[in-house]
């Protein structure tokens, strides 16, 4: 049964905005002057929303950086509540006695640059006071890591004991290890790749076109529209396309098959549910900016190619992929493992859940975290 919240018109954007409950977020207004993205433009100032768990050692040596995927945010652990519409996406991994044991480690999870949950992004106020919207600069994962490096400086962390990320977060974790090799002690790369493939770019392009083709897109300038006035149809369609790639065919067959009623298949209702959830907690323009940044991912760009870039990683590295992942297939993680640390550093997460296995299979991922941090 739908709740009143489910049936009410969604706001124009699901982004966190000034005046909303902060929840567990902290905010760092980064120093270092304007941030100038690689592909042009300028961000005169950057604020990063982040959350922490555990206590920082005086020298910062116990700090672990956890990097989220496309529609994630800084709320990696903790309950849903004011400011946090969903529970922590890796709650089972972070806390006392858990794989990221907060009695030992100081865990930091930032919201990515270009995101929509407190970090500077398209829904944030631009130089004129109105939301950046479609004028927000194009980004690359290197730009996002540049912002995260400034956050580390602000927190007094010269070197991360570990950097951990999956999917889009894995792209940034890899960029951390290549761009700042002396600042990454160990590295866990989950369900990601050295460079976005043609197929990944194609899937992403279909999603972005769905958003931009929505009549309510208005070139990305919709943030002040009334409830129901955002490009929700386009963002919902993008989520449906994406969610199919995140799961596996055997899982969908086992869960839904051809079951349905009233002329609709149950799998359609499943996709509708995930689309509706996303439009209420995310921002369409952030989805476009972050998707474009993922398409720009190529760790070998201007570094002599992928193989040369991977040879520059100094961190103790584990790479893991999901055996049923059809979006970031296991062969891509095998390439990373061979290029960085040797094939013996590849681990396989067994799951029927496809790409989302890196989020769902917390017991297996937890074992990898323990192995990395032993």
Task: Give yes or no for residue 41 having a pLDDT over 50.
Answer: yes
- For residue 278, give its domain range: 201-292
Q: What is the DSSP string of 166-201?
A: ETHHHHHHHHHHHH-GGGBSEEEEES--SB--HHHH
Please give the share of the chain, as a percent, with pLDDT higher than 70.
98
Q: Are residues 173 and 117 in the same domain?
A: yes
Which residues, in sequence order, are CB contacts of 153 under 8 Å at separation 6+?
31, 32
Structure tokens at 66: 């956890």
Active site residue 167: yes
349 and 222 part of one domain = no
Q: How far is C-alpha 5 from the geometric centre of its chain's CA atoms?
A: 25
Question: Among residues 180, 156, 145, 200, which one has the least CA distance to residue 57?
Answer: 156
What is the total count of domains within the chain?
A: 2
Position 4 scores a pLDDT of: 43
Task: Please say if the pLDDT value at position 366 is more than 60.
Answer: yes
Mention every residue, 6+ apart, whose C-beta is less than 8 A from residue 5: 280
Tens-digit pLDDT profile for residues 325-340: 999 999 999 999 999 9
Choice among 101, 292, 325, 356 that is catalytic: 325
CA atoms within 13 A of residue 126's CA, in its CB half-sphere: 17
Residue 55 sits in the same domain as residue 116: yes
Cα separation, 205 vs 215, whole angstroms: 18
Length of the chain counted residue by residue: 374
Which whole-number Å values give the CA distances from 353 to 5, 101, 326, in the listed order?
Answer: 28, 26, 10
pLDDT for 3 beyond 60: no
Higher pLDDT, 176 or 6: 176
Please report whether residue 245 resides in a domain.
yes
Same-domain check for residues 116 and 242 = no
In tens, the pLDDT along 122-148 reads 999 999 999 999 999 999 999 999 999
Contact 191, 321 (CB under 8 A): yes
pTM for this predicted structure: 0.96
Same domain? 323 vs 279 = no
54 and 98 both lie in a single domain: yes
In a domain, 51, yes or no: yes
Q: Considering the domain boundaries, does residue 93 fall inside one? A: yes
Domain boundary among 272, 292, 312: 292
The residue from 223, 248, 355, 356 that is catalytic is 355
- Do 157 and 63 contact (CB within 8 A), yes or no? yes
Percentage of the chain exceeding pLDDT 90: 96
Q: What is the dihedral of CA 215, 219, 223, 229, to 10 degrees?
A: -10
Q: What is the mean pLDDT of residues 348-356?
A: 98
Going 293 to 294 to 300 to 305, the CA torsion angle's sign is negative
**9 part of a folded domain:** no
The pLDDT of 235-254, averaged and rounded, is 97
Judgement on whether residues 283 and 308 belong to the same structural domain of the protein: no
Return the CATH number at 274: 1.10.1740.110
Whether 93 and 225 map to the same domain: the answer is no
Residues 208 and 111 in one domain: no
| Cα dihedral 173→294→224→24 (10° resolution) | -20
Compute the average pLDDT of residues 199-204.
98
User: Residue 305: CB partners within 8 Å, gap ≥ 6?
Assistant: none
Dist CA 200 CA 212 (whole Å): 18
Q: Based on the domain organization, do 306 and 363 belong to the same domain? A: yes
* pLDDT tens profile 256-310: 999 999 999 999 999 999 999 999 999 999 999 999 999 999 999 999 999 999 9
Q: Please indicate, yes or no, if residue 206 is contained in any of the structural domains.
A: yes
pLDDT at 7: 66
Pair (192, 209) in one structural domain: no
Tokens representing 59 are: 């020298």
H or E element that contains 353: none
Q: Residues 167, 186, 286, 324: which is the catalytic one?
A: 167
Predicted confidence (pLDDT) per residue in 111-127, tens digit? 999 999 999 999 999 99
Work out the average pLDDT over 152-178.
Answer: 98
- Whole-number Å distance between alpha carbons of 372 and 25: 27
C-alpha–C-alpha distance, residues 352 and 361, integer Å:
10
Report pLDDT digits (tens) over 54-65. 999 999 999 999
Q: What is the pLDDT of residue 162?
A: 98
Tell me the CATH number at 145. 3.40.50.1820
- Say whether both 91 and 240 belong to one domain: no
Task: Answer yes or no: is pLDDT of 6 > 70.
Answer: no
For residues 207-232, give the mean pLDDT. 98
Q: Is 279 helix (H, G, I), strand (E, B) or coil?
A: helix
Other beta carbons within 10 angstroms of residue 81's beta carbon come to 12
pLDDT at 2 over 50: no
């Amino acid at each position: 049964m739908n709740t009143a919240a489910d049936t009410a018109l969604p706001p124009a954007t699901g982004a966190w905005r000034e005046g909303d409950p902060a929840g567990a977020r902290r905010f760092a207004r980064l120093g270092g002057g304007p941030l100038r993205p690689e592909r042009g433009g300028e961000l005169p100032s950057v604020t990063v929303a982040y959350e922490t768990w555990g206590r920082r050692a005086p020298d910062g040596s116990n700090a672990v950086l956890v990097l989220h995927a496309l529609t994630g945010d800084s709320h990696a652990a903790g309950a849903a509540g004011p400011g946090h519409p969903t529970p922590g996406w890796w709650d089972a991994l972070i806390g006392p006695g858990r794989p990221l044991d907060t009695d030992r480690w100081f865990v930091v999870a930032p919201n990515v640059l270009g995101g929509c949950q407190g970090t500077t992004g398209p829904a944030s106020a631009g130089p004129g006071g109105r939301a950046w919207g479609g004028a927000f600069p194009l980004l690359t994962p290197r730009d996002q890591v540049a912002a995260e490096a400034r956050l580390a400086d602000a927190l007094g962390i010269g070197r991360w004991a570990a950097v951990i990320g999956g999917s889009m977060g894995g792209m940034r974790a890899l960029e951390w290890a290549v761009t700042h090799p002396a600042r990454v002690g160990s590295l866990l790369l989950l369900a990601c790749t050295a460079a976005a493939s043609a197929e990944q770019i194609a899937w992403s392009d279909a999603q972005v076109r769905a958003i931009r083709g929505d009549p309510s897109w208005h070139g990305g300038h919709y943030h002040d529209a009334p409830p129901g006035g955002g490009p929700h149809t386009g963002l919902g369609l993008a989520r449906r396309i994406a969610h199919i790639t995140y799961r596996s065919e055997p899982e969908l067959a086992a869960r839904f098959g051809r079951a349905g009623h009233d002329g609709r298949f149950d799998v359609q209702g499943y996709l509708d549910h995930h689309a509706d959830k996303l439009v209420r907690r995310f921002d369409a323009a952030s989805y476009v900016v972050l998707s474009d940044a993922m398409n720009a991912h190529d760790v070998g760009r201007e570094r002599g190619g992928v193989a040369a870039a991977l040879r520059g990683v100094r961190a103790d590295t584990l790479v893991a992929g999901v055996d049923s992942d059809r979006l970031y297939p296991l062969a891509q993680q095998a390439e990373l493992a061979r290029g960085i640390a040797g094939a013996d550093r590849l681990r396989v997460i067994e799951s029927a859940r496809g790409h989302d296995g890196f989020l769902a299979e917390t017991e297996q991922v937890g074992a990898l975290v323990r192995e990395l941090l032993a």
